[in-house]
Chain A
Amino acid sequence: MRSVLFITAFIVVFSCELPPKHATQQNTYSRATDTITQIINEEYVMITTAVTMPMYVNHDQAAFKKWGEKMGVKVSILGPAEWDVPAQINTIEEVIGTKPTGLLINGTDPAIAQVINKAVAAGIPTVVYDSDVPNCNRHAFLGTDWYQIGKMQGEEMVKLINGNGKIAYMGILGLTNMEAGFQGMLDVFKKYPNIEIVGKYDDKANVEEAAKITADVLSAHPDLAGLCGFDSNSGPGMALAVKEAGKAGRVKITTVDWEPEHLALVKEGTIQLLVGQKRELFTWYGAQFLYDMVHKTNALSNNDRQAGITNIPQTINTGLLRITKENIEQFIKHQ
């Protein structure tokens, strides 16, 4: 009995495998080009979290599907319905096992770096979009700098309130990209001692919540000068409460995204600035990069992998849209 226990313990201890000390960089190009010669059932998979979020559906996913139709390849969109990063990681892990032709991953959080490395190590061309993921071996990144989104809002707000007054801001607290946006805005305000920050709020990406918070802030600070929003639903919620309080136009609002409801609020003068991302470009060109990598379009050497290079750009900043009352008509007509 003792010897059985001893042997079992011996097997258990010696079959235990610790994780690698550091993420391996040498796998960046591993086997990515090996798939080129055998493309069967070509399929590109986009994996995000909050897959049903209207902004993602109307921009990212619509462009990705359109690209798939144009290129005549299968495209699939997967991920949890709620904002759930661990569930997104689980989905990526499960998809890796099915060996898709390419992976287009929304960089929702730095925590997904490990699973991206796993995909790359499995030989799957992998492009990250929206927010970059530090310390990962992704083949390319396309997106915007959230710090700049915050900075653009901060600078516009300073102009709108002449560098003087009370400001509140809201978004989804705890998200890396939004926290970077908050920081960009706060760094601008630091230079203006007459600007007072009265609160940072979590509107949970919910219009009703944003409206409720705004109404409360307006009650507590009747002299509030401005509001800054960082998620898609912040703007409509803030605008609703400001209109209900009869302060439309007096309380200045800057926010993100450019859905039809946002554009209408700019046109009527309730919102003064929209900072938009070129989201369609994230997924259209992200998918195209994957395709080009797989099909060796513009190969830069006899064997890119052995040369330690890829034939696609590594980092693309798609830039921001600045939408105000001056150029609003162009966007309304476009939609």
Chain B
Amino acid sequence: MNCRWQMQRRKIFYRWLRIDFIYDPKKVSMLSKVLEERIYSLSILLVVVVVTASFIFPATFPTFENFSQILLNLSIDTIVAVGMMMLLISGVFDLSVGSIVAFAGCLTAYLMHFYQLPVPIAVSIGLLASLIIGWINGYLIAYQGINPMIQTLAMMGIVRGCALLVSGSGIQNLPYWFNAIGQSKLLNIQMPVWYMLITIAVFTFLCTKTIFFRRYYYIGGNEKAADLSGIRVKRMKMIAFIFSAGLAGVAGILLSSRLGAALPTMGRGLELRVITAVILGGASLSGGIGKIPGALLGAVFMGLIANIMVISRISGYWQEIILGLILIITLWADKALQKRYVST
């Protein structure tokens, strides 16, 4: 009764605004569908942002070079965001990913530069080290019950310290074939963009088509129920941390390769950027929801806003404030619209 009265009241309001077509039942259901899924609403928002920016900066924004640059700049963050999305779906997160990015890159560079190890062996050891860090995180959190925030915060410091120990002030002059991993181009687009797209495609397939990965939604939705239904929650959580750290390791090696140098300061603040992108892409800190392409869309949204601010010469003082405000407004508007239309 109350609901009907509310609908009637809205109908009158929208008629007064002369936008009563919103209450066409078919359109309401379409709108509900779009708003129900963050990836759809975010996609629409992205199109709006791109079109608007193209009109405002016609000479500099809508160019192939600029778009490929945006994608290149967000490729490293997105690869890490895929792992973070998996963790958030299962209801946990990892603050040490930024440090793992630095450590994997520095260790790989160290082995190539000081021990002259061949590129594939050094890269494999760098990746293996990342996986071991992920395993330690996962084991202590899942099996020993340490709080994920405390564990990964401590690991963040340890791993950053190791990166500093290994690389000192950074390692330059890396082998040509290592640099080629991140600096080569395919169809005039730099390789990290392709690696990012492959990562997204593979993990989207895994999370939608395989029973193993779909279990993370059950774990994030209700951990106890998942446990009672026979899912090995602890093992699954540990594996999620290993995947996340592995992807951070891939990102770190790619970043070093792209820069042609390994810096111990790489990935500083990356964890928060990635968590923000993933939440924006539809995940929740309480777990159970989120889709892998959402990680890409969240990162693209942040990358686009950052690019537009650079093109419009907004000073660094304002960039973080504006980005923060846009994120809050976007999430708030999304929630408000969902409440209004999805529930009716």
Please list the residues of chain A having a beta carbon within 8 angstroms of any beta carbon in chain B. 12, 15-19, 21, 43, 45, 51-52, 76-86, 89-91, 93-95, 97-99, 109-111, 113-114, 134, 173-176, 178-180, 202
Which of A80, A90, A175 has the most CB atoms of chain B within a 10 A radius of its CB?
A: A90
Q: A17-B184, A85-B265, A110-B261 are in contact. List 8 more A-B contacts (CB 8 A).
A: A15-B188, A43-B313, A79-B316, A94-B66, A97-B60, A98-B310, A110-B172, A111-B261
**Contact across chains for A94 and B185 when beta carbons are under 8 A apart:** no
A237 CB to nearest B CB, Å: 19
Q: Which of A76, A91, A114 contacts B259 (CB 8 A)?
A: A114
CA gap between A134 and B168 in the complex, in Å:
17
CA gap between A173 and B157 in the complex, in Å:
14
CA gap between A86 and B273 in the complex, in Å:
14
Interface of A is mostly: mixed
* B319, CB-defined interface residue at 8 Å: yes
Q: Which of A18, A21, A45, A176 contacts B169 (CB 8 A)?
A: A176
A148 CB to nearest B CB, Å: 17
Q: Which residues of B have CB within 8 Å of A93? A: 69, 72-73
Q: Which of B69, B269, B316 contacts A51 (CB 8 A)?
A: B316
In the complex, 7 of the A-B residue pairs with CB atoms within 8 angstroms, ordered by the A residue number, are: A17-B188, A19-B183, A78-B313, A83-B268, A109-B261, A111-B261, A179-B168
A101 CB to nearest B CB, Å: 13
Q: Could you mark each residue 276-318 of chain B with 1 if its beta carbon is under 8 Å from any beta carbon of chain A, else 0?
A: 0000000000000000000000000000000100110101110
Which of B69, B183, B186, B265 has the most CB atoms of chain A within a 10 A radius of its CB?
A: B265
Q: Which residues of B have CB within 8 Å of A12? A: 186
Taking A77-B316, A94-B69 as contacts, is the C-beta distance between A84 and B265 under 8 angstroms? yes
Please classify how large the interface on chain B is, using the bins under 10, 10 to 19, 20 to 34, 35 or more: 35 or more
B190 CB to nearest A CB, Å: 9
Q: Which residues of B have CB within 8 Å of A109? A: 170, 261, 263, 265
Taking A84-B265, A89-B259 as contacts, is the C-beta distance between A97 and B168 under 8 angstroms? no
CA gap between A19 and B183 in the complex, in Å:
6
* B21, CB-defined interface residue at 8 Å: no
Which of A52, A86, A90, A178 has the most CB atoms of chain B within a 10 A radius of its CB?
A: A86
**Contact across chains for A76 and B261 when beta carbons are under 8 A apart:** no
**Contact across chains for A97 and B69 when beta carbons are under 8 A apart:** yes
* B264, CB-defined interface residue at 8 Å: yes
| Nearest 3 CB-CB pairings of A with B | A51-B316, A179-B169, A19-B183
Q: Which residues of A have CB within 8 Å of B76? A: 86
Q: Closest B residue to A79 by CB, please name it.
A: B316
Q: Could you mark each residue 242-272 of chain B with 1 if its beta carbon is under 8 Å from any beta carbon of chain A, else 0?
A: 0000000000000100011101111011000
**Contact across chains for B184 and A78 when beta carbons are under 8 A apart:** no
**Contact across chains for B170 and A111 when beta carbons are under 8 A apart:** yes
A156 CB to nearest B CB, Å: 24
